[in-house]
Structure 1
Amino acid sequence: MGDRVLSDMFAPSRVAVVGATESEGSIGRAIVENLRDDFDGETVPVNPNYDEVFGLRSYPDLASAPDVDLAVVVVPPGAVVDVVRDAGEAGVPNVVVITAGFGETGSEGAARERELQSVADEYDINLVGPNSLGVMSTPVGLNATFGPENALQGSMSFMSQSGAFITAVLDWANDQGIGFRDVVSLGNEAVLDETDFVRAWGDDPDTNVVLGYLEGIDDGQSFVDAAREVTDDTPIVLVKSGRTDAGAQAASSHTGSLAGSDRAYQAGLEQAGVLRVETVQELFDYAQMLAGQPLPERDDLAIVTNAGGPGVMTTDAVGDSDLSMASFSEETLSELSETMPEEANIYNPIDTIGDADVERFRTALDLALADDNVGAAVVLSAPTAVIDFRDLAEEVADLQEEHGKPVAAVLMGGERTERAAEVLGEVGIPNYFDPARAVRSLDALATYRDISERTYEAPTEFDVDREQAEAVLARAKERGDNRLGVEAMDLLSAYGIPTPESDIVDKPEDAVSVAQDIEGEVVMKIVSPDILHKSDIGGVKVGVGNEDVYDAYEDLVTRARNYQPDATILGVQVQETVDLDAGTETIVGMNRDPQFGPLLLFGLGGIFVEIIEDTTFRVAPVSEREAREMTEEIDAAPLLRGARGREPADVDDVVESIQRLSQLVTDFPAILELDINPLVATPDGVQAIDVRLTVDTDKL
């Protein structure tokens, strides 16, 4: 879709409401009232049935109205397309369609939505919706929604695919004193979608954090590309609902059954640098920390508390995170020893004990933040008679600014914490009741620091034989089948993935001839696109000597015929034996996700892969760094590195094989699923022992 300029949408001088009315309980009335109450610019009602609305002159159509920057459309579904066309003719650059009754209602509505999209494209209109709650922008008081209240002003921009979610969040956020810059209800996303707003807010210097509630992403790869660029400077935090494995139900490969729809989202969002959260609480816990606090230079956390129990809880939370407890320097410990009571604990966590006043808290926090071994701090206080939370908040705010290190506050209590939380909030320090929330938020801050510092590497382009690969894939189309097995080993060879010496034969005497040319005993496998799990039916024979090859061929074919009489039998593969005990069996695979495209899998392989499920995922194409991370993330990674006295596998060859498979499935969109299982990793390199894939023959 390309980058769109959306600044006029959020800073309009004049907003038209098409369908404005004074009718009680109507959406057209609610939007005009919301604009009238707070909007800095001019509100222009458009309705041929009125001369004025709430004292504002009303125009019969957009053509007769003065030039507007944003039109909000609240007319019956059948009239929307004509209104948007009128907006295009009038040169209106931005339109929000509130009206429902489009793609969400069935085939007739979907056809109307396609027409709406076509008109918007014709006139190059930035269109939000249809079926949208509307948009907000607090710097200009813009509330072009039919929600019950406006947002407070802040530096976070928020988008949602659910309008109801926005009204609930705003009600809660206003109660919590949490503000926003821009708010968008995405609606049906006929034109503008989440990727457009990620790009727009990434270019906005006044948006410090991008937040979102998403149920789906239509173009996952475009979103990843946009978000990867934006997260260099602006954090993105998303709630992604719909954690289902429905996509795996129709999968036939190991990779397909392990992938599931949510795995693609998780992999894509991680690669894009997006912080994904599970709850609304986490969304705003992280957002407030990211918006208000500097990035830590190190992951070592100091805890200053007046309550031993909550201090232990905080320490446990650190243990559950990727942060660590800071070890204070001897100088810090010496000064704490001199300034704290004898009963206090000067080691981390610093327990100033229950009679600590604000000055003792200040001294302890000042020494902790001054220590070069400390990257961030949690200040935790239970209410006591000698602590005034507001005074403590002012001291914490001063020390955070003085030392420039991130601080989270945990002032535990009810009403007495409210004013203190306001004091802290004014300088961007979040206050949490639960210490675990504070630690998780600081952990998110450290994670974003790592995201902002990483460098994107372009995928390696290997020299491959595309013509040979095309010829192998064409075989499926020639025989009218969409599945290939070991007969596709040449596909891997074409892309430089090592395979053992082998051949496929359709006569027992040919099997004997091939085996005689291979040194040592051979492995023999039935070759049939209809028999996916060959081992389950005895369709694989290992360690076959030359004298037994003829009989082994006959036995394999007989077993296959007995198991599935109507199966297509292409022959038997005779393959060089690879010593599995000398290496580690891994799996490398791909399942093509409808939103994100090729989803790569790497993990511990073999016949129990779906039982063990020791796997990790990435969206292709992947860089060398991303491929290497995959080899490090699985639980069985120590096996590759040489655990228990084993000689280390050639991990570089594993990494290269992942990259080469990534290039293969990127080059050929017709490949829907692919498994290399096992890919045996030994100290001398890798060997792809078996392969199976599913293709879309219409794309070949």
Structure 2
Amino acid sequence: MGDLTGLFSPDRIAVIGATPRDGSVGHAITSNLLASFDGEVVGVNPNYEAVLGVDCVDSLGEAGDPDLAVVVVPPDIAIAAVREAGESGVKNVVVITAGFAETGSEGATRERELREAAREYDLNLVGPNSLGVMSTPVGLNATFGPDDALDGNLSFMSQSGAFITAVVDWANDQGIGFKDVVSLGNKAVLDEGDFVEAWNRDEETDVIIGYLEGIDEGREFIETAREVTRNTPVVLVKSGRTDAGAQAASSHTGTIAGSERAYEAGLEQAGVLRAESVQELFDSAQMLANQPLPDSETVAVITNAGGPGVMSTDAVGDSRLSMAAFSEGTLESFRESLPAEGNVYNPVDIVGDADVERFAGALDTALGDPNVGMALVLSAPTAVLDYEELAEATVELREEHGKPVAACFMGGERVAPAAELLREAGIPNYFDPARAVESLDSLAEYREIRGREYDDPAEFDVDRERVRELLDRADGRGDNRIGVEAMGILEAYGIPIPAGEVVSDPAEAERVAEKIGEAVVMKIVSPDIMHKSDIGGVKVGVAREDVYDAYEDLVTRARNYQPDATLLGVQVQEMLDLDSGVETIVGMNRDPQFGPLLLFGLGGIFVETLEDVTFRVAPVGGSEATAMIDEIDAAPLLRGARGREPVDEASVIETIQRLSQLVCDFPEIVELDINPLVVTPDGATAIDIALTVEQ
């Protein structure tokens, strides 16, 4: 990506397809530019000498070296216009024109040509199928939307142009302003990662927000956003929560994964705050743009209304926040200043007859407590309370203490002037206590993101040639699903496996069992029977004298269950002591946007029922592997719950990282399960494997 200064701060703009015809897109864009843009506008259309009072030229080469070209001509002509822009030295192009990949195969071909032209000339190209771009500092409205945006410190991108027009109209009504606005369109060249990176360098953008329907280059976006979010908050709404990507999955991991899981993991790893609604998007954005970050996640609630105070406490309980425990000095101050019927503990109820002086005194005391990270001023209207004076006091105390404050001045028309005072000072006001708490929660979440340390993935010494040989062998038999016959893949990457072999006759099974020397586990080996325990295809604790018969029984069961199944034999395996261990699962499903999506969780036969799992996009380092263990509900089982000896957690962390390296090294592996990975105080051992390779 090149410098985007000319895209957002051009001195001269050419509108290719400018027209005086009212009701057309070319007319709307030209009109919007002429109404507000600080620089020069020139039309490019051989059919007119002037459009709306500005000169119109026959070609872009006659337009006087514009910084930005806006293309509003039919699709085939648009491609030629982009080439002409490159030949004329124009570096920034916005293609409004539709009729590209969104319309089918012919449009997709046109879009490839458009992309090739842009890359040939190294153009910063927005679109196609874009509403356009805005930048308020220079009065730039190169869109065909009906409204200009207000000035502000939010920069906003959206894959939906219609969503932009609705948001700008609503934001104008709410007094919310923007620095830049971009309609991404089809993202043929510039995408969300490019704008996130550019706005991070923009001193006038305090928060980056967006509406996305998909992220095409997921891994690259994670790497870019991680760097950006160290300095600039990014809040996104991501639509399309279906699990369609899991419909063709054959493994446990593939069944559970799905595209939504990948986005959850990817955006979390990127340090992006994910909003569940448009309301939450702007609640979080306004709080992040105008409030200091808290020193802790503790909240003090000051209220004159008991019921809403309880509501706010419930909302805190549903968030990452906690109700602050006041110091003894703070409690004593409250006892001295509040009526006897009030509550000095959190939430602080200063009683319904409280005036501004009592409210301000209580808020001052709470914010002065070192145990308080942030505060919520929660009030219902009374005859003795002046909301505007309370707003002024709230603003002064926020500035004095330097701690974030949210306001919940409940009411309608009576609240409006006070809410405006608060808004101008960067303190959002909410009618609903839950929204106020959620907005404070976004500050705490971003505080945690800012404090993260990302470590590089470990690079283990592995045997890649052996893995290549095993994968080629499977490919040679014409099957893309591999089971326990590929346990050597794990061994080649340093993941411990039990002693054992896959055998093809009962006598050989006896030989392997004799070598192991103890009771064994025996499993049918077939790429067509993935869940062997469901058909009785696993026998545990088989004595040496019973191995022959067990082999025959397993083969018979498999033949009866699926006569046409490919049987590769029976695995005879060392039996581990599971009494001191925990069955976990480590797996991978390759997502189209983000690549290898790792899974870790409670394993065994109930993994799909319990779904106590967590996800990360590979590759992962030690800190992320550790976080995966922390996040599952069953983590206490690994750490010695109910008097059990803690398992060797370090071996799980290493196994996750080794699997991460394996699936990154071999992109043809599209699904993989290690289930169970048995973890004991002595280490982790992979008992079974199932994987699918790309045909």
For Structure 1 versus Structure 2, the TM-score category normalised by the shorter chain is over 0.9
Name which of 494, 502, 505 aligns with 1:504. Answer: 502
Deviation per CA, 1:140-192: give whole Å up to 9, x if none: 11110011101111111000000011111111111111111100000011111
The whole-number CA distance in structure 2 between the counterparts of 1:228 and 1:559 is 52
Distance 2:333 2:643 in 1: 48
Q: Distance in 1 between matches of 2:60 and 2:376?
A: 56
Alignment partners' CA distance in 2, 1:126 and 1:177:
31
SS in 1 for 2:257: helix
Shift of 1:375: 0.4
- Conservation of the 8 A alpha-carbon contact between 1:592 and 1:672: yes
Partner deviation per Cα, 1:213-254 (whole Å, 9 max, x = no partner) = 001111100111111110101111000000001111100000
User: Secondary structure at 2:560's aligned position in 1?
Assistant: helix
Q: CA deviation at 1:416?
A: 2.3
- Find 2:73's aligned residue among 41, 54, 75: 75
- Give 1:134's aligned residue: 132
For these two proteins, the number of residue pairs brought into alignment is: 695
CA contact (8 A) 1:71 1:95 kept: yes
Q: How much has 1:562 moved relative to structure 2?
A: 2.0
Provide Cα deviations, 1:419-453, integer angstroms capped at 9, x if missing partner.
22221122211111111111111111011011011
Instruction: Indicate the residue corresponding to 2:657 in structure 1.
Output: 659
Give, in whole Å, the separation in 1 of the partners of 2:380 and 2:191: 45
Q: How many Å apart are 1:107 and its aligned residue?
A: 1.5
Contact 1:539–1:560 under 8 Å retained in 2: yes
Match of 1:224 in 2: 222
CA distance in 1, matches of 2:417, 2:137: 25
Aligned to 1:63, the other structure's residue is in SS state helix
Q: Residue 604 of structure 1: which of 602, 605, 623 is its match? A: 602
Amino acid at match of 1:204: D
What does residue 85 of structure 1 align with?
Answer: 83
**What are the Cα deviations for residues 390-444 of structure 1, in whole angstroms up to 9, with x where unaligned?**
2211111111111100000111111222222221122211111111111111111
Unmatched 5+ stretches in structure 1: none
Partner of 1:359: 357
Deviates more, 1:536-545 or 1:615-624: 536-545
Offset at residue 32 of structure 1 (A): 1.2
TM-aligned CA deviation for residue 664 of structure 1: 0.6
What is the CA–CA distance in structure 2 between the aligned matches of 1:692 and 1:164, rounded to whole Å?
A: 45
Residue 517 of structure 1 aligns to a residue in which SS?
Answer: helix
Secondary structure of 2:571's aligned partner: strand
1:40–1:140 contact (8 Å) kept in structure 2: yes
2:448 is the alignment partner of 1:454: no
What SS does the aligned partner of 1:580 have?
A: coil
* Separation (CA, whole Å) in 2 of partners of 1:278 and 1:368: 31
Q: Distance in 2 between matches of 1:666 and 1:337?
A: 62
Q: Report matched runs for 1:57-456 at 5 Å.
A: 57-456=55-454
- Using the alignment, how far apart are the partners of 1:509 and 1:342 within structure 2? 88
Q: How far is 1:109 from its partner?
A: 1.3
Tell me, in whole angstroms, the C-alpha distance in 2 between the residues paired with 1:552 and 1:336.
76
Query: What amino acid maps onto 1:432 in structure 2?
Result: Y
Counterpart AA for 1:492: L
**Cα distance in structure 1, aligned partners of 2:323 and 2:558:** 61
The answer to whether 1:673 aligns with 2:671 is: yes
Q: 4+ residue stretches of structure 1 with deviation over 3 A? A: none
Cα deviation 1:320-356 (Å, max 9, x = unaligned): 1111111222222222222223332222212222222
In structure 1, C-alpha distance between the alignment counterparts of 2:476 and 2:637, rounded to whole Å = 42
Secondary structure at the counterpart of residue 6 of structure 2: helix
Q: What is the distance in 2 between the residues matched to 1:485 and 1:525?
A: 10
Shift of 1:582: 2.1
Counterpart-to-counterpart distance in 2, 1:311 and 1:46 = 61
Deviates more, 1:560-569 or 1:268-277: 560-569
Q: Is the partner of 1:154 in helix, strand or coil?
A: strand
Pairs within 5 Å for 1:621-632: 621-632=619-630
1:586 correspondence with 2:584: yes
Once residues 573 and 328 of structure 2 are traced to their aligned partners in structure 1, the CA distance between those partners, rounded to angstroms, is: 65
Per the alignment, in what secondary structure is the counterpart of residue 647 of structure 1? coil
Contact 2:454 2:623 in 1 (8 A): no
Find the residue that maps to 1:449 and give its secondary structure: helix
Could you report, residue by residue, the CA deviation over 1:436-476 in whole angstroms, capped at 9, with x for unpaired residues?
Answer: 11111111101101101111110111111111111111111
Aligned-partner SS, 2:341: coil
Deviating more after overlay: 136-145 vs 74-83: 74-83
User: Secondary structure of the equivalent of 1:395?
Assistant: helix
**Partners of 1:173 and 1:144 in 2: CA distance:** 18
Partner of 1:465: 463
Paired amino acid for 1:138? T
- Distance in 1 between residues matched to 2:466 and 2:99, nearest whole Å: 51
Is the contact made by 2:316 and 2:437 (CA closer than 8 Å) also made in structure 1? yes
Q: How many Å separate the matches in 2 of 1:526 and 1:345? A: 68
TM-score by length of 1: 0.98
Structure-2 residue corresponding to 1:542: 540
Deviations 1:576-623 (A, max 9, x none): 111222211100000000100000001111111111111110101111
2:568 to 567, 570, 582: 570
> For residues 517-567 of structure 1, what are the alpha-carbon distances to aligned partners after superposition, in whole Å with 9 as ceiling and x for unaligned?
112101111111111111122211111111111111112112222222222
Given that residues 4 and 196 in structure 1 are in contact (C-alpha distance below 8 angstroms), is that contact kept between their aligned partners in structure 2?
A: no
Provide the secondary structure at the position in 1 that maps to 2:288: helix
Q: Secondary structure at the match of 1:124?
A: coil
Per-residue deviation, 1:388? 2.1
> What is the DSSP-based 3-state SS (H/G/I as helix, E as strand, rest coil) of the residue aligned with 2:99?
coil
What's the TM-score once normalised by structure 2's chain length? 0.99
8 A contact 1:4–1:200 mirrored in 2: no
Task: Find the partner of 1:17 among 15, 19, 35.
Answer: 15
Cα drift, residue 46 of structure 1: 1.6
Code of the aligned partner of 1:429? I
**SS of structure 2 residue aligned to 1:394:** helix
Distance (whole Å) between structure 2 residues aligned to residue 417 and residue 99 of structure 1: 45
Query: Over aligned residues, Cα RMSD in angstroms?
Result: 1.1
CA contact (8 A) 1:526 1:571 kept: yes
- Cα displacement (A) at 1:128: 0.5
Q: Distance between the aligned counterparts of 1:126 and 1:234, measured in 2?
A: 23
Amino acid at match of 1:102: F
Summarize deviations over 1:491-519 as a string: whole Å, max 9, x none. 10111111110011112111111110112
For 1:105 and 1:75, locate their aligned partners in 2 and report how far apart those are by CA, in whole Å.
16
Task: Assess if the C-alpha contact under 8 Å between 2:159 and 2:185 holds in 1.
Answer: yes
Matched residue type, 2:675: N
**Bigger Cα displacement from structure 2, 557-566 vs 212-221:** 557-566
**Counterparts of 1:71 and 1:603 in 2: how far apart (Å)?**
52
Q: Distance in 2 between matches of 1:628 and 1:343?
A: 49
In the alignment, the residues of structure 1 paired with residue 584 and residue 87 of structure 2 have an alpha-carbon distance, to the nearest angstrom, of 60
Does the CA contact (< 8 Å) of 1:162 and 1:185 recur in 2? yes
Counterpart in the other structure of 2:612:
614
Give deviations 1:193-230, integer Å, cap 9, x for gaps: 11111111112122111101001111100111111110
